[in-house]
Structure 1
């Protein structure tokens, strides 16, 4: 069987790292228990969920010879608005994601994952959830 694409392996490693986000391990939330690698909504709007999806791959213009790439990804967590503290929980989840990825290197051919932006969405597309999107960039060597 062929090896997975390097970018897919990076996403798998990031998902494994985010799965460690558990209150018992010192985090604020247990969002690590609900991770998906496909860009689809979690089927249950009554439960929290975290989806990790790729946005694109670019050549790293700051490195010569075109051997370096930038993988852009998005970690999107949804929190049911039925929770009294849904907005506060979305902030806690964003902080947990940043803490989990801080100075962490997913593969030997990559640099630490960079958190670029955090965006909070209140009931996106009329859904009964609050969402937080954490934009990530991973520099790696092909």
Structure 2
């Protein structure tokens, strides 16, 4: 019964953060470093129900994601994407497909890339809008390429 309440609470927080499925929640937990690896739904529910620290870390990360989604107005989102596109064009990228392709080849850390393969253009734009560090990293990369090619 307590496990069910915990999972309902996590599910509600995930929905507020724009995460619609349990699989997305597990991916989010891995991306945030809360889970070290992909877990099956059964294992993930057991871990979340029994490990208070992991549960609290996940709830905190979901809350931060919810806040970040609230903070950026639509016009600002478009502006962020337009700025990135302009920088990418200066670096020789012609369209969003090429930008996403570069993101799929760009490492954030040893094992982690900006975008997973496959990532659609719309998914990539959401990732860029909702994650300022990734947006900044891509801007830096395109700026360096632009400087090197001009």
TM over 0.5: no
Q: Please state which band the TM-score falls in when normalised by the shorter chain.
A: under 0.3
RCO (CA 8 Å, sep 6+): is it higher in 1 or 2? 1
What TM-score do you get using the length of structure 2 for normalisation?
A: 0.26
Question: Larger % of strand: which?
Answer: 1
Give the TM-score of the pair, scaled to structure 1: 0.27
The structure carrying a bigger helix percent of its residues is 2
